[in-house]
Structure formats: C-alpha cells, structure tokens
C-alpha cells in the first residue's frame, strides 16, 4: 500500500465491532440446523467489514470528498444534461407514502401513487406530442430497447416480418446500435453530410422494405437541429418504417418543437437528464417511452389508466410486448421528475430551453476563436469543438480534459461523437449563471494558450487531484475487480 | 421569467445575445422548420411554489397505505427490511447523487471505490468471483443472464423453473423474444422445482437453467442436485438469489453456479412502489469478459497510488456498438451505494443475524397458522415466506385486513391458477411477535 492510499472499508475492519441495531428477537428460537436442509446452512462467513457506525460515516464522507458532483462544481458533460438537481425532489421522493409502499399492494391502497404516475404520463404526452406513455423502462437504453421492441411488434402484427433493419446516423450514441441488437434487429448506418446533419441522399439509398425504423436524436449529438426532419420522416414513412426519437437531447426543444409534431412515432425520454432525475453516479435513471396511437396496443403491461375516478393497472393487453421490468418502472425517479415538472410549469419549461440554448451559443461564440468549430451555425443546447489545432501542438483533447480538472471543473464529453476529430462536446444547461460560464471559458482560453506556450503543463495534467492519471491498460490486462485480503 | 433554478437575468441575456450577434433568443431556433414549430404553451398544470407543491404532494402520498403506518406481511420479491439510518445520510451526500457515471476517474475516486467495495461484497455473499457495478433490478439481471448464457453456449433454449418470480419470468420472455430464444418452464412439485421433469428437459440445446434460491414460495431449492443435472449437459447454471438470505444459506457459488443474479433491495433500499431497486450480476472468472454493464477495477496512478477505473470497457455499448454484450449504460449506482452502506453496517455478523431472524420469525408465524387451523401448503424448509390456503379470495381478505392496519400477503392465484385462495406470507425481522400474533388471529377469525 502507498502511504497516500485511501483505505478500503475492508482494511478498516476489526473483529468484534458492529454498525447495526436489529429489531429484538422476540420469538422463541430454534436451532438453525433443524430449519434448513442438510448442507444448506452457510459454513464460511462472508468477509463483510466489521466497523462501527462512526467508522462508516467517516469512510463514506471521505469517499464523497473524492468525488465531483454537480453540487461540487460546473459539469458541462455534453449529451448528459447535468443540470441542477432540485432538493425538493429528494424530499418528496422520501415521503413515506411514496418511498415505503409495496408494488403488490391492493390498487385501492395506492391510489395516490397511481394518480401521480397517470398525471406524469399526461404531462409527458403533452410535452412530447405523443398519444400514450409508459413509465416502465428503467433508463434511456432500456427505453430504446422497449421502443424498438414495440416497433418490431407493430411490424410483425402487420405480417411485416422482414423489417429487421434499424437505420442509425454515424453520429449516434453507441447505445442505439446496441439496443437494436438486443431487440433482435440489425443496424444500418446513414451518413452525415458536411453540415453534420443526416445525408438525405444516403437515407434514400438505405431505406427499403426491410426498414423497421430510423433512430434519431434531434437535435443530434452535435447539438444541431435536423432541419430536414419533415423530409426525413417522410422518407422513412414512405418506405413503411417508423421513426424513433432518442430523447437524450430533449432539453433543447421544450416548448419549441415536439417529437410528435416532427413525425416521430416512438420517443424515449431520460427523466434523469431533462427532468432532473438525478444521475446518482450512474443511475438509477428512468426512461419512459411515448408512442403514437397505432403503437399503443403493444405497450408493456400493465398500463396505468383511469376508469371513472379510480386509477387502475390494466393487464388486459393482448397485443402487449409483455413486461420490460418487474413492477412499474423506477417510481422514485418518476416522483422526482413529476415534482420538477410541477415546479416549472409551462412557462418554466419554455425558459429552460431558451436559457439552455442561449448559454450554449454564448459559450460556442466565445470559444470559437481559440478552438476549431467544425459546424459554424447556431447550436441548440450543446455544441462540439475540435481540438485539432491543439493536437498539432502535441496537446490532445484528453489532455485538455484532464487540465480542466485542475480548475475544478468536470470536463466536457470527449471523443464523441465519433465523426468529429478530437471532439470536445459542451453542454452548459440552463441552471448555470453567466459568471460560471465566463470562468469556464477563461479556463479553456488559458488552456489553449498553455498548449502553445507550455504544453507540458497540459500534457501532464491533472496536477491537483487526489490521484493522477491512472493506468487503465494494466487495469484491463490484469483485472482486479474485488478486494482480497 | 424568474425562477429559483434559472439564474439568467435580463442584463445577462442582453449581453449574451450581443456576443452571439443576434437580436433575440428566437433567432437561435430559426433552424426549426415553421411547420413543426410548437407555438403557444404546453397545456400542463401551472407551476406551484415550493410550499404549495410540497403540501399537495404530501397529501397525494398520504393517500397511499404505507409500510410505516401499516404492518406488512407482503413480500413476493420486495420486502420490508431494516434499513440502517445511516444509509440515507450517505446517499444524500450530493457529491454522490449529483455525479454522472465516473468517466473521469481522477475526480470520481469516491464513487469508483464505493462500487469496487460493492462488487467485493456481492462476491462475498454469492460465493462468486466477479460481480458488476449493478443492473436495473433482479428481473432484468435474470434476463441478461439468459442472454449471456445463450451467447456463450451458442444455444437457443432457456429452461426456467415456475418457482421463479412470475414477473421475472415475464421480463425474461420479453427479452427472449428480442433474441429469438425459446423459454421453457419447469413445473413445481410440492413448492420445489420438479427435478424429474428437469432431467427430461435438459439437453444439448439448453443454454441455461434458471432457478430461484430461495424460490418464489420461500422454499430452498436443492442446488446441489440441480447442478449435477445441468452441468452434465453443459448448460449454464443460473441462480436468482435473495442476497440477504445468503447470510445463512450456503451461497450458490459453492454449488457451482455459473451466474448468480438478484435484487439488493433487501439490503438498504426502500420498496418505493417497485423501484428503483438494485439488480446485481455475479459470475465465475471465466465469464468475466462477457458480463453486461460496468465493472470497476483497481489500478495505480503515475505515483504508484492505488486508484480505481471503469474497466474492460471493450464489452460495452459505447465501444462495441451493435456487438456489445448488452445495451445497458446507466444502472443503479446510487442504490448500489445504499446496498454497500447497508452491507457495511450489517457486516459479517449482522447479515447472518438478520437472515437468521427472518428464518426464525417466519417459522414462528408458520407454526402459529397451523395452530389456528390454517393449512400451510408446500410445508418444508423456508427462508422468510410460506404459502397458506384460505377459504376466501385473497383480495377480499386483504381488504378486510387493511381496515385493521395490516397489509396481507400476495395473492398467488394471480399467477398460478391452481393456487386460487392461496396467500404467500412474508415475515421479515421487522415483524414483532405481537404483530405476528395479531395477524394470525385476524386471519384465523376471517378464515373461521
């Protein structure tokens, strides 16, 4: 062990210490040997730590200090919509009537929960312009797969069993093709044109009677609105395919354009992005899916619906694709999203998008002088820069990202999308002030200057973090995936 | 518009528009075709102040019968367990809950180390060599185990016991359809997977056999016997297991399981109407490079200090795209953290003591039912659930019980037509003798 190593909890364990207080054992006890089949009583104890309650709090507090959250500082991670996570959401989600109810209780005893889900569905329908919404998918990728399964079921119900191809732009997130694959569909790539948008000619070339769907993010992963969205939808619909909206970038178009009006048939949303989830260090998320009327029969069951004044879980869905998750989705995250939407209202949501887009364009304009701007037009909620100019000086985008750590920032998304060299993808969100943006811009400008004058300081960054760059190659070659005493 | 989450002032806006070189914000949306531009306002409820909204939602929450006000004997995959108070204090630290996936390890060591510790604890409980950073839940983890098995064995049939959670089986069937896999269910005999039928069903086309341990009826499946049959045909042995029960039960790893999955809701995570919970996924080391989801590995930095990174990413969607082992990205990191804190608080002794308390209290309740003349079906060794046979529909009985502040057990007739009027009763360490006695008496009175 290095003397600056952060101890693992296992290394702090001392036999005889405890950190729990179990309910009293107030029933007569019997020898466990008699209560279990022979050979099924555990002999070797699991090596869990033995520590006191204060030890545990100190351990995790010290870990938390080694972690950068949104509350720690600016987090312009492109495509992830790292906006403020309102604290009211956390309080509401912890109300006993939301946090401590069982999914299999009688429906009559959970009317409040069902009403919230129903009303959230209504709100999301209006926001997306779709006809029905399911809250069952647990995350964005899960929503993508669910949406594609719905599209597959739709085609199969029409006897269209040969529609097995999903068209995906070359700028798409890797999840899109992976979701298609899990849904049993093959991927076809459509090229982007020189403006960073879907190449219509190439799209016309790849669509056909084997097209199940086109998956599209709009604005796309470059932060650019697909101006020809109407033609795109027409081309795909004309070939008999469906158009799928990846809602990762919905923060860019709230109250400005609805996927349902753009011609999309299926939408998934990332409630942990646009609707303040929060991200939790990598989940739990929530990935509701909205559909147009012709896909409603295929929605996962049960569907939350309203009959008279009663809210019910409707299982009588003969054409449903089935369940995609036990129970009804990540309810706790849905409560947070609902609280957020109700905190903002229609005016608030409109301002969210306007401010997010204004912030992104402002940053883009100010940084354009110092970094290459591959697509010089108004962006939406995010934009991409290229570190090409710095690369020539021996400073890679990765180095720039690591140098930003020294300024207390979480770096932007880097090397994505794949079709931009040395890509730097910045999404400021609407909850950041101009002062914060200006400080970050200043840091970026300073780094650009350092790349010219003193590249080592960037190449060797970070200099101020609790660990320096980590050896990822050895981690993958000789994996150590658990602690062993 | 002024809002506490939106810091932009009119002056800011003016300055920023000037820098951009446009007159109005609307110009930035000029690329949205007129035809699809949304005009007007969303027809949704108007914004409410913090106080008013909290009041409204508190009232809405109060319309639900919660497990704090009522005494619950409902389990069936989601349980009312002891949650150490510190769990919520740890996961409320916003350095954890407002962070994204730890892509930048230098400023994410806290989260990465916490996941590394979670992986270790899951390995310890399950007796497996490798565990990932979490899955959405036990049901999707089970489906992913089936897909991994099919890919690894290049076989297309998944055999699953009908004593596996019905909703998990439903999820599996949806995923199986996506992957063109066939799912075959094995019947139950006296509450346990029918071993004779299993013997007939396992052959060289079977990718995996999936059982639950303890099973949906609370019974202990004979993993030793099952393992021999399954591996004789080189199928994968997949066990869906309640991780708390492994505080006292011999872990599936000891019986030669290839993949162990399940839900860590029982370790520090509230029921929350079914989610978010926390799936886990553990395998033998030979399957390490096929695991879905994120894995954290230990390494060193340039100065030789220990550190942690996301590793073996060549398996994952952002690198492999359509060839990835799974499409999962976000998982349940914060809930894995909650489970870690709970496992840490319980420790070596607490997890055994808590698991044992479940067995003791459930057996006490089971015997008490027998004493009031209620039949226990599938009677035998159990963890914390058992089945009783009643003379009225369970739904009706549960509505009567709720009047007395009791949330009754699960209506098995919903999934098993021959088990109409049968209730699956869960008794955890949380239930006091008095609560159990009252429940038995009330049910005895209704049943009489």
Cβ–Cβ under 8 Å, residues B159 and B198: yes
Task: Say yes or no for a CB contact (<8 Å) between B8 and A430.
Answer: yes
A129 vs B134: CA distance, rounded Å: 34
- DSSP designation for A301: S
Q: How many CB atoms lie within 10 A of CB A3?
A: 5
The pLDDT tens digits for B402-420 are: 999 999 999 999 999 999 9
For the residues B191-216, what does the mean pLDDT come to? 97
pLDDT at A322: 97
Yes or no, beta carbons of A149 and B320 under 8 Å apart: no
Looking at residue A46, the DSSP 8-state letter turns out to be P
Write the CB contacts of A267 (distance below 8 Å, at least 6 apart in sequence). A128, A130, A147, A244, A245, A247, A259, A260, A289, A290, A291
Say how many CB pairs under 8 Å bridge A and B: 699
Interface of A with B in 64-123 (CB under 8 A): 64-72, 75, 77, 80, 82-86, 88, 90-106, 108-113, 115-116, 122-123
B321 vs A92: CB contact, 8 Å cut-off?
no
H-state helical runs in B237-393: 317-320, 333-371
Three-state DSSP string of A327-374: CCCCHHHHHHHHHHHHHHHHHHHHHHHHHHHHHHHHHHHHHCCCCECC
Residue B307: which of A59, A67, A466 has the closest Cα?
Answer: A466
Residue the block writes with tokens 């999934």: B415
Cβ-Cβ contacts under 8 Å, A25 against chain B: 357, 360
DSSP for B73-99 reads: ---TT-------THHHHHHT-HHHHT-
B347 to chain A, any CB pair closer than 8 A? The answer is yes
Does any CB of chain A come closer than 8 Å to the CB of residue B18?
no
Angle, helix B10-20 to helix A331-367, in steps of 10 degrees? 50
Do the Cβ atoms of A42 and B356 come closer than 8 Å?
no
Q: What are B296's two structure tokens?
A: 């954290």
State the average pLDDT for chain B. 97
| Side-chain-side CA neighbours of residue B393 (13 Å) | 6
Helix, strand, coil share of chain A (percent; to 5): 40, 15, 50
Quickly state the pLDDT bin for B448 (edges 50, 70, 90).
confident
What confidence score (pLDDT) does residue B325 get?
76
State the fold for domain A88-343: 3.40.640
Q: What pLDDT does residue B315 have?
A: 80
Global pTM reads 0.98
Residues linked to residue B379 through DSSP beta bridges, in sequence order: none
- For residue A485, count other CB atoms closer than 10 A to its CB: 6
Of B62, B309, B333, the CB nearest to A282: B333
Q: In sequence order, what are the residues at sequence separation of 6 or more whose Cβ sits closer than 8 angstroms to the Cβ of residue A308? A: none
Are the beta carbons of A39 and B224 separated by less than 8 Å? yes
Q: Which residues pair with A290 in a beta bridge?
A: A133, A267
Helix pair angle (B333-371, B109-126), 10° resolution:
30
- Indicate yes or no: CB of A69 within 8 angstroms of CB of B96: yes
Residues of chain A scoring pLDDT < 70: 1, 3
Q: Among candidates A99, A130, A124, A123, which has minimal Cα distance to A112?
A: A99
- ipTM comes to 0.98
- C-beta atoms of A66 and B106 within 8 A: no
Q: What is the reported pLDDT for B351?
A: 98
Half-sphere exposure of B367 toward its Cβ, with a 13 Å CA cutoff? Answer: 12
The mean per-residue pLDDT over the stretch B335-347 comes to: 98
CB-CB neighbors (< 8 A) of A171 in chain B: none
Could you give the strand order of the β-sheet that contains A383-386, starting from the edge strand earlier in sequence?
A383-386, A423-426, A413-414
Q: Which of A39, A127, A230 sits opposite B250 (nearest CB)?
A: A39
B29, B109, B248 member nearest A6 (Cβ): B109
Fold of B86-342: 3.40.640
Q: In which residue ranges of chain B is CATH 3.90.1150.10 found? A: 71-82+348-447
Q: What is the DSSP letter of B35?
A: G
Q: Do B72 and A325 touch (CB under 8 A)?
A: no
- How far is it between the farthest Cα atoms of chain A? 77
Distance of alpha carbon A80 from alpha carbon B153, whole angstroms: 36
Measured in angstroms, the CA of B200 and the nearest CA of chain A are apart by 25
Residue B286 CB partners (closer than 8 Å, separation 6+): none
Please indicate if any CB of chain A lies within 8 Å of the CB of B438.
no
Strands (E), A105-148: 132-134
Structural contact between residues B407 and B72, judged by C-beta atoms closer than 8 angstroms: yes
On the question of pLDDT at B319 being above 80, the answer is no
Give B71-82+348-447's CATH code, choosing from 3.90.1170.20, 3.30.70.20, 3.30.750.24, 3.90.1150.10.
3.90.1150.10
In chain A, where the domains are located? 9-65, 88-343, 352-459
Asked if A465 reaches chain B (Cβ–Cβ under 8 Å), the answer is yes
- The verdict on B403 touching A (C-beta cutoff 8 Å) is no
Using alpha carbons, select from B327, B310, B27 the residue that is nearest to residue A246. Answer: B327
In chain B, the residue whose alpha carbon lies closest to the alpha carbon of A55 is B345
Per the listing, tokens 């401590």 go with A100
Dihedral sign, Cα of residue A79, residue A282, residue A132, residue A343: negative
Do B6 and A75 count as a contact with CB atoms less than 8 A apart? no
Strand-pair category, B130-131 with B279-283: antiparallel
Count how many Cα atoms sit within 13 Å of the Cα of residue B131 in the half-sphere of its side chain.
Answer: 30
Distance CA B265, CA A286 (A): 17
CA distance B148 to B143: 9
Task: Name the A residues in 224-263 with CB < 8 Å from any B CB.
Answer: 224-225, 227, 229-230, 253, 255-258, 261-263
Answer yes or no: are the C-beta atoms of A266 and A166 closer than 8 Å: no
Are A317 and A303 in contact by the 8 Å Cβ rule? The answer is yes
Residues of chain A found within 8 Å of residue B119, distances taken between Cβ atoms: 481-482
Bond from prior residue into A67 cis (ω within 30 degrees of 0): no
Parallel, antiparallel, or unpaired for β B236-241 and B206-213?
parallel
Cα–Cα distance between B95 and B86 in angstroms, integer? 16
Burial class of residue A278, CB neighbours in 10 A (0-12, 13-18, 19+):
buried
Closest chain B residue by Cα to residue A463: B106
Dihedral angle, C-alpha B230, B233, B236, B239, nearest 10 °: -10
B74 close contact with A: CB closer than 8 A: yes
* pLDDT at residue B329, as a whole number: 87
B21/A contact by beta carbon, under 8 A: yes
CA distances from A313 to A118, A130, A301, A317, B140 (A): 10, 20, 8, 11, 21
Residue B361 is nearest to which of A27, A85, A152, comparing CB atoms?
A: A27
Predicted pLDDT of residue A1: 60
In order of B396, B398, B422, B424, B446, the CA distances from B390 in angstroms are: 11, 12, 6, 11, 9
Are A20 and B346 inside 8 Å of each other by CB?
yes
When pLDDT is cut at 50, 70 and 90, the band that residue B330 belongs to is confident
CATH number of A352-459: 3.90.1150.10
Q: Which residues of B touch A222 (CB under 8 A)?
A: none
Instruction: For residue A109, list chain B residues with Cβ-Cβ distance below 8 A.
Output: 64-65, 402, 407
Residue span(s) of chain B under CATH 3.40.640.10 come to: 86-342
Q: Which residue of A has its CA nearest to B2?
A: A348
Per-residue buried b or exposed e for A193-226, using 16+ beta carbons within 10 Å of the residue's own CB? eeebbbbeebbeebbeebbbbbbbbbbbbbbbbb
A477 in contact with chain B, both atoms CB, cutoff 8 A: no
Give how far Cα A175 sits from Cα of A139, A171, B196, B321, B326, Å: 12, 12, 42, 6, 9
Pick B3's closest partner by Cβ from A140, A282, A348: A348
Tell me the residues of chain A between 253 and 312 that have a Cβ less than 8 Å away from chain B: 253, 255-258, 261-263, 272, 278-286, 300
Does residue B66 surpass a pLDDT of 70?
yes
B331 touches chain A (CB under 8 A): yes
**Residue A382 · residue A425 · CB < 8 Å:** yes
Q: Any chain B CB within 8 A of the CB of A482?
A: yes
A34: contact with B, CB 8 A cutoff: no
A330 shares contact with chain B (CB less than 8 Å): yes
What span, in angstroms and rounded, lies between the C-alpha atoms of A467 and A84? 27
């Amino acid at each position: 062990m290095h003397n600056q190593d952060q101890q693992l909890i296992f290394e702090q364990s001392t036999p005889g210490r405890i950190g729990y207080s179990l309910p009293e054992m107030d029933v007569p006890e019997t020898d466990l040997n008699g209560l279990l089949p022979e050979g099924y009583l555990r002999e070797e104890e699991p090596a869990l730590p033995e520590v006191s309650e204060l030890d545990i709090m100190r351990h995790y507090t010290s870990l938390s200090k080694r972690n950068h959250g949104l509350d720690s500082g600016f987090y312009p991670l492109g495509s992830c919509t790292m906006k403020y996570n309102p604290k009211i959401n956390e309080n509401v989600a912890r109300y006993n009537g939301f946090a401590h109810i069982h999914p299999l209780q009688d429906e009559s005893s959970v009317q409040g929960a069902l009403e919230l889900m129903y009303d959230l569905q209504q709100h999301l329908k209006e926001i997306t312009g779709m006809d029905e919404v399911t809250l069952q998918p647990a995350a964005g990728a899960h929503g993508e797969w669910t949406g594609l399964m719905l599209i597959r079921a739709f085609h199969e119900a029409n006897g269209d069993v040969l529609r097995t191809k999903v068209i995906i732009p070359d700028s798409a997130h890797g999840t899109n093709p992976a979701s298609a694959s899990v849904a049993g569909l093959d991927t076809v790539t459509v090229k982007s044109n020189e403006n960073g948008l879907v190449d219509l000619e190439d799209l016309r070339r790849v669509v056909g009677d084997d097209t199940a769907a086109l998956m599209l993010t709009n604005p796309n992963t470059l932060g650019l609105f697909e101006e020809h969205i109407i033609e795109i939808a027409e081309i795909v619909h004309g070939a008999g395919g469906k158009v799928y909206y990846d809602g990762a970038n919905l923060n860019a178009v709230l109250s400005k354009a609805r996927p349902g009006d753009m011609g999309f048939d299926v939408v998934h949303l990332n409630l942990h992005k646009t609707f303040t989830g929060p991200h939790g260090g990598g989940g739990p998320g929530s990935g509701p899916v909205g559909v147009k009327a012709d896909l409603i029969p295929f929605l996962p069951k049960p569907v939350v619906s309203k009959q008279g004044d009663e809210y019910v879980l409707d299982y009588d869905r003969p054409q449903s694709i089935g369940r995609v998750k036990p129970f009804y989705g990540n309810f706790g995250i849905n409560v947070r999203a609902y609280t957020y939407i109700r905190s903002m209202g229609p005016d608030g949501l409109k301002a969210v998008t306007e401010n997010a887009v204004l912030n992104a364009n402002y940053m883009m304009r100010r940084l354009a002088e110092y970094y290459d701007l591959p697509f010089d037009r108004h962006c939406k909620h995010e934009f991409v820069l290229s570190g090409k100019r710095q690369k020539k000086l021996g400073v890679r985008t990765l180095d720039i990202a690591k140098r930003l750590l020294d300024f207390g920032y979480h770096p932007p998304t880097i090397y994505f999308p794949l079709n931009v060299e040395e890509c730097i993808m910045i999404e400021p969100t609407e909850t950041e002030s101009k002062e914060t943006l200006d400080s970050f811009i200043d840091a970026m400008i300073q780094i650009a200057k350092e790349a010219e004058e003193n590249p080592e300081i960037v190449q060797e960054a970070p200099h101020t973090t609790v660990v320096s760059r980590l050896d990822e190659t050895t981690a993958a070659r000789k994996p150590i995936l658990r602690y062993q005493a | 518009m002024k809002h506490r989450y939106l810091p932009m002032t009119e002056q800011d806006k003016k300055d920023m528009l000037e820098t951009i070189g446009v007159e109005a914000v609307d110009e930035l949306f000029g690329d949205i075709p007129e035809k699809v531009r949304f005009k007007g306002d969303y027809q949704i409820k108007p914004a409410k102040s913090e106080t008013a909204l909290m009041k409204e939602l508190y009232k809405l929450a109060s319309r639900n019968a919660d497990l704090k006000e009522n005494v619950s004997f409902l389990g069936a995959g989601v349980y009312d367990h002891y949650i150490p108070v510190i769990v919520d204090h740890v996961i409320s630290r916003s350095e954890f809950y407002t962070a994204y996936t730890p892509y930048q390890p230098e400023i994410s060591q806290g989260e990465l180390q916490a996941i590394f510790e979670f992986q270790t604890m899951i390995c310890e409980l399950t007796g497996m060599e490798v565990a990932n950073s979490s899955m959405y839940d036990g049901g999707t983890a089970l489906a992913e185990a089936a897909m991994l098995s099919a890919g690894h064995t290049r076989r297309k049939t998944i055999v699953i016991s009908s004593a596996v959670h019905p909703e998990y089986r439903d999820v599996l069937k949806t995923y199986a359809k996506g992957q063109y896999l066939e799912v075959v269910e094995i019947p139950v005999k006296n509450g346990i997977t029918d071993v004779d039928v299993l013997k007939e069903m396992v052959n060289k086309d079977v990718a995996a056999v999936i059982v639950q341990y303890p099973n949906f009826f609370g019974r202990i499946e004979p993993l030793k016997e099952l393992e021999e049959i399954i591996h004789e045909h080189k199928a994968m042995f997949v066990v869906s297991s309640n991780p708390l029960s492994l505080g006292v039960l011999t872990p599936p790893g000891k019986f030669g399981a290839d993949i162990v999955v399940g839900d860590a809701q029982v370790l520090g995570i509230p029921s929350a109407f079914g989610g978010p919970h926390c799936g886990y996924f553990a395998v033998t080391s030979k399957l390490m490079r096929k695991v879905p989801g994120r894995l954290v590995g230990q390494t060193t930095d340039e100065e030789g200090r220990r550190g942690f990174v996301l590793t073996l990413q060549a398996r994952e969607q952002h690198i492999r795209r359509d060839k990835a082992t799974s499409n999962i990205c976000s998982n349940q990191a914060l809930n894995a953290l909650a489970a870690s804190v709970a496992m840490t608080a319980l420790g070596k002794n607490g997890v055994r003591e808590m698991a044992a308390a479940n067995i003791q209290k459930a057996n006490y309740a089971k015997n008490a039912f027998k004493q009031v003349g209620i039949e226990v079906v599938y009677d035998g060794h159990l963890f914390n659930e058992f089945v009783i046979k009643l003379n009225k529909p369970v739904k009706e009985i549960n509505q009567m019980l709720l009047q007395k502040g009791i949330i009754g057990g699960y209506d098995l007739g919903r999934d098993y037509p021959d088990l109409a009027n049968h209730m699956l009763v869960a008794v955890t360490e949380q239930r006091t003798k008095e609560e159990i006695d009252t429940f038995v008496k009330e049910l005895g009175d209704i049943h009489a």
